[in-house]
Amino acid sequence: MTRRTRLVYLFLGLAIAAGFILWPLHTPLKSPAWKTLGELPVKEAGRIKPLDSVARNTLLSLSGRQTLPGPNGTLSALEWLMAANITPEEADTWPVFLIRNNPPLLSFLSLETTGKSRFSFRELAPKLTAIEEQAKLAQTLESYQRSPFQRSVITLHQQLTRYLQLKNSFGLGDNFPFTQTILRYDKLMPAAEKALTNSAELTQTEAENLRQLFVLLQVSEYLHQTALILPIPPNPPFAKEWETMGGAMINAFRTHRMNPALFAWSDFIEKYQSGNETVWSPAISAYQEWLSSRYPAIARKAALEAVFNRLEPFYSAMLLYVLAAVLIVIGWAGAGRFLLPLAYSVGGVTFLIHTASLGFRIWLLGRPPVTNLYSSAIFVGWIAVLLGLLLEKRLKNGIILLAGCITGSITLLIAHHLATMGETMEVMQAVLDSNFWLSTHVITITIGYAGAIVAGTTAILYILLGIFTRKLTPELKKSLTGLIFGTLCFTLFFAFVGTVLGGIWADQSWGRFWGWDPKENGALMIVLWVAIVLHARLGGLIRKKGLVLMTVFGNMVVAFSWFGVNMLGVGLHSYGFMERGVFWLSTFMISQVVILLIGILPHRK
Amino acid sequence: MAHNQFKIADKLAPLLRGLSSLKLTVALLTALLILVFVCTLDQVNMGIFYAKKKYFETLFVNWHPTPKIRIPVFPGGVLIGTLLTLNLLVAHFTRFKWTLKKSGIWLTHIGLLILIIGSGLSSALSEESQLPLNEGQSRNYSINYEESELAVIVQPSETQQIVTAIPASMLHKGRKITHESLPFSIEVTDFFPNAELQILPDRNPLSPVNRGAGPRLNVMPLPLFTRDNLRNFTTAYLELFQNGQSLGVWLVSSGLETPQPVFLNGAYYWLIMRPKRTYTPYSLTLLAFSQERYTGTDTPKSYASRVRINDPKSHETRETVISMNNPLRYKGSTYYQASFANEGKTSVLQVVQNPSWPIPYIACTMIAVGLLLHFAILLSQSLKRRPTP
């Protein structure tokens, strides 16, 4: 290939990838004012993030989607968040709460058991007390003792609580003119001062002002206890931490110093209630300007995260990996020699996007790339594609890159679905809060997973090529099994070192090198399995076909170690029980068994 | 004579060949994989402590159709570990050649041997216990809730205690115990590894107990709980004798938290069944426990205990902080911040004594370096064989 054709392919790949990546931006935001609102930094679940992230994550965790079908077209998560706070009587009727295939729960809620899967708060509200009672009862049991009904009622209770907390973030709807009273705070205060020195001489207006202040304080306390979002940035030395609206108001009473941000938010919400964008948009721009001058770094970070949310680059990368894989397969089928280089180019450019997005997450969180199950899926995909690209340089037949792209797209798909469980950038539990061990143990073990899966996917391709095509020549057999063997060696090294580093972390933190914790066992099982395969090959117990079949079985070992043990709900490593995960894991296991059975069949001659 | 030797060698050869074979290696590794898998699954039914006992700290995994009968159904961790060690040793002495090409394999396998031996040593030598401390409280012992001991305590003065402790593992029905520090002998009339105690309104007519707190209690024997969060109450009937004369029958149980007095020769001997204690020549005092949460959430950010070490022997009194990932190491014991209880008023420290702790570090380094070396050798060979076009 000449240098010029190579450049042409590169540009084609770039153009395709850029199209995919920028596609989400074409959906118009309602207006610049909504963009500004979405980019405003707030604190929620212990992390500073744009309001847009709060809206998306909360809506995802309640309804499994990032948008909502509204009365007049699709609503963004942010619009839903604002409506839930400002016009709750309307938002309460929107179908938000996802209850999937759960007849016992639905009949308990006296809801229709057929047809729709999302229900509005209004539909659930009559059963609020009953749900709370059931959830409390279920919580007295250990998680493994709970019935599916009890588990789902606990989830629903958590979701309802989250929704109520969300609604209490910026006021109480129409029940009490919270923000309006905050705005009149300066006018109300003199009455309080006077009452403290000389209570007998209050005029009627002053007495009324005093009453309003009293109610404001009560409401503030209530909102402080129940709000989800902390929108008010610190105002040292009077306030050192981010605060809820209510908390900031109480602080204003205590310190006689109103946080300018509290005033700005109240002003914005008062104007937002008019429902007229031209009225509230100057308020939000003014606050954003003030914030950018006061906390430039925080404001910039939040704004970038909001853009990142809109781009959803991992989702685009998933689609692009699928595209690259399809191009390779069509190229093999003989539909044009130009498709393979184009596939390399698309795969390579997508890998760069994948890398940049991973880098962005690292910068945003100040954490190593893998901090939870979601990010482990993203990282496994990244390593798999990296391996595919590096090894492709040696083999140059597209097979290993195809394996990399398939693994990349599937792991990103898994990540996409894991993200529907809610926040993907949550704060670290105290036990896990160690960047050093996160970046050594977790990374190496995850590289081990990736190696095993790339080997396993290559083995699957080997089987499929042998059964369905005549392309599996003896030379290809040799080079593929050699490749699988090499990748298994790579896997053994990283899985072993990762497991050992985990042991060292455990020894440093709990005083035991090895505790037979399920996740440790899972990692050990990968090491053992690869060791078995390598020894069986060395002893001549298996040849090429045996190696390939055993490597496919390794996929199941990895799946158990990576996801299966988390579903057991025991030990320090369990991230919570994943109902739907069990279904998908079982499906995966069955698919691998089917491939193993196909693999036993004789090859086409 | 020579003829005889030849015969032995002849008979040994197939055995050695079998012991050194890769088939055995693969079989053993597969058995280990299955064992690890089943042990992981079974942790849904039992705590890690008992799962470890059932699958790894045993020659065979037993199936109990009834509590009395046990049928070995699968090799346990000890058996597999021993056979793997033998397999590896014999293979290296018979089959392997010491060449530079194989140096990575050698290093890996020696590391593995050390690791297997080290894990055996560690399960034999290491001791884990807990140290719960309320703020302001001092203790010169840690507590192992998994095991019980029968303690006889004499208090010659306000500040002094003489404790004679008998591990519950030594107690069984009919066992007679004498000890030079005790003026009486103890006969175990009956013993229950776990039991529930019920308080009756009147004296229990079925109970043989006639002294102490026991006569009104009814003992309901229970199977051993194997979950991590359920405690077993070790319970026993004890008859005490002095010079062949019975002093009465007592009921002791780790469910009864106050010691029961035995008055003898003008002194009180206090009887108690309690979680096993390990005494230290120094004491730890919890000065303050703090927990930090992420603002606006219930997620803990960090826990920390400020403690004072008071060591009269080495005249050492100092303060230190134990927090997550930051343990205190003092005189062979390591104190880790494990958890807290009592809404944050009690800090729970995990105490580990494990003299064999460096072994896995050495072994794993050898294995990792060995693997890297071996794979590097393999890679360079394959690159030499097939130069990239």
Confidence of residue A152 (pLDDT cuts 50, 70, 90): confident
Q: State residue A465's pLDDT score.
A: 92
Half-sphere exposure of residue A496, counting CA atoms within 13 Å on the CB side?
27
How close does chain B come to A371, measured CA to CA in Å?
15
Q: Convert the pLDDT of each residue in B129-142 to its tens digit.
A: 999 999 999 999 99
pLDDT above 50 for A17 = yes
**Residue keyed to tokens 């770094």:** A297
Quick one: average pLDDT of A71-83? 89
The mean pLDDT of chain A is: 88
Q: How many beta-carbon pairs below 8 A join chains A and B?
A: 154
Mutation target for B interface from A532, A550, A572: give the one with most B CBs within 10 A. Answer: A532
A-chain residues near B230 (CB < 8 A): none
- Nearest-CB residue to A512 (from B352, B378, B388): B352
* Confidence at residue A28, expressed as pLDDT on a 0 to 100 scale: 61
ipTM: 0.87
Backbone torsions φ then ψ of B131, nearest 5 degrees? -130, 95
B197 exposure class (CB count in 10 Å sphere: 0-12, 13-18, 19+): middle
Find the residue in B nearest to A437 (Cα). B325
Q: Under an 8 A CB cutoff, do B43 and A568 touch?
A: yes
Query: Helical H runs in A70-177?
Result: 77-86, 88-91, 103-108, 121-124, 128-139, 148-167
Region A148-175: what's the mean pLDDT? 88
Count of other CB atoms within 10 angstroms of residue B228: 16
Flag whether pLDDT at B241 surpasses 50.
Answer: yes
Q: What is the pLDDT of residue B1?
A: 44
Local structure of A545: helix, strand or coil: helix
pLDDT at res. A263: 93
Tell me which of A109-113, A398-402, B284-288, B348-352 is least confident. A109-113
The confidence band for A569, taking pLDDT boundaries of 50, 70 and 90, is low
B7 pLDDT tier (thresholds 50, 70, 90): low
- Residue A574: what pLDDT? 39
Instruction: Report the residue of chain A nearest B302, measured CA to CA.
Output: A430
**Do A507 and B357 count as a contact with CB atoms less than 8 A apart?**
yes
Residue A416 pLDDT greater than 80, yes or no: yes
Contact A510 B338 (CB under 8 A): yes
Best-predicted range by mean pLDDT (A302-306, A394-398, B198-202): A302-306
Residue contact B360–A517, C-beta within 8 A: no
The model's confidence at residue A335, banded by pLDDT at 50, 70 and 90, is low
CA distance A509 to chain B (A): 4
Question: For tokens 């999937």, what's the residue?
Answer: A100
Q: Which one of A490, A541, A568 has the shortest CB-CB distance to B23?
A: A541
Whole-number Å distance between alpha carbons of B209 and A77: 71
Q: Per-residue pLDDT for B102 more than 90?
A: no
- pLDDT at position A577: 40
CB neighbour class for A74 (10 Å; exposed up to 12, middle 13-18, buried from 19) = exposed
Decide if A427 and B299 are in contact by the 8 Å CB cutoff. Answer: yes
Contact B33 A532 (CB under 8 A): yes
User: Which one of A521, A558, A561 makes the best mutation probe of the B interface by having the most chain B beta carbons within 10 Å?
Assistant: A521
pLDDT at B203 (0 to 100): 82
Nearest to A415 by CA among A359, A367, A373: A373
Contact between B22 and A538 using a beta-carbon 8 Å cutoff: yes
Q: Is A493 in Cβ contact with B372 (below 8 Å)?
A: yes
- Measured between CA atoms, the residue of chain B closest to residue A557 is B37
Q: Measure in Å the smallest separation between the Cα of A251 and chain B Cα atoms.
A: 15
pLDDT at A516 over 80: yes
- The reported pLDDT for the residue numbered A572 is 42
- For position A266, what pLDDT does the model report? 94
Q: Residue A73: beta bridge partners?
A: A70
Q: Return mean pLDDT, chain B.
A: 87
pLDDT at A545 > cutoff 70? yes
Q: Pick from A430, A541, A570: which is nearest to B43 by CB?
A: A570
pLDDT digits (tens, 9 = 90+) for A253-287: 888 889 999 999 999 999 999 889 999 999 999 99
In chain B, residues with a C-beta closer than 8 Å to the C-beta of A486 are 378-379, 382
Query: Closest chain B residue to A509 measured between Cα atoms?
Result: B325
- The rounded percent of chain A whose pLDDT value lies above 90 is 55
The answer to whether residue A350 scores a pLDDT higher than 90 is yes
Q: Are B58 and B97 in contact (CB under 8 A)?
A: no
Whether the per-residue pLDDT at B118 is higher than 70: the answer is: yes
C-alpha–C-alpha distance, residues A43 and A34, integer Å? 19
Asked if residue A576 has pLDDT above 70, the reply is no
**Shortest alpha-carbon distance between residue A73 and chain B (Å):** 34
Nearest chain A residue to B322 by CA: give it.
Answer: A509
Tokens in use for B299?
Answer: 């997620």
pLDDT of A208 > 90? The answer is: no
Give the closest of B26, B44, B371 to A535, CB-based.
Answer: B26
- Residues in A touching B32 (Cβ below 8 Å): 528
- B206 pLDDT exceeds 90? no
CB burial readout B38-49, b (16+ within 10 A) else e: ebbbbbeebbbb
pLDDT digit string (tens) for B48-97? 888 888 999 899 999 988 878 889 999 999 999 999 999 999 988 887 77
- Using CA atoms, how far residue A593 sits from A263, A460, A602, in Å, is 62, 11, 17
Query: What pLDDT sits at residue A602?
Result: 80
A329 alpha-carbon distance from chain centroid: 31
A493 contacts on B by Cβ (under 8 Å): 368, 371-372, 375
Q: How far apart are the first and last CA of chain B?
A: 64
Contact A504 B334 (CB under 8 A): no
Segment holding B94, helix H or strand E:
helix B77-94
A85-137, pLDDT tens digit by residue?
999 999 999 999 988 777 888 888 888 766 788 999 999 999 999 999 999 99
Instruction: For residue B135, give how far its alpha carbon lies from the nearest alpha carbon of chain A (Å).
Output: 21
> Do A541 and B26 make contact, defined as CB atoms within 8 angstroms?
yes
Q: Does the pLDDT of residue B215 top 90, yes or no?
A: no
Selection from A60, A56, A63, A59 nearest residue A118 by Cα: A63
For B285-309, how does the pLDDT look when each residue is reduced to its tens digit (9 = 90+)? 999 998 888 877 777 788 899 999 9
Please say if the pLDDT value at position B211 is more than 90. Answer: no
For B152-193, how does the pLDDT look when each residue is reduced to its tens digit (9 = 90+)? 999 888 888 889 999 998 998 889 999 988 889 999 999 999
Q: How close, in Å, is residue A528 to chain B by CA atoms?
A: 6
The answer to whether B238 and B219 have CB atoms below 8 angstroms apart is no
The pLDDT confidence band at residue A604, using thresholds 50, 70 and 90, is low
Show residues of chain A in contact with B294, CB under 8 Å. 45-47, 427
Q: What is the pLDDT of residue B389?
A: 43
pLDDT of residue A579: 64
Cα(B251)–Cα(B97) distance, rounded to whole angstroms? 65
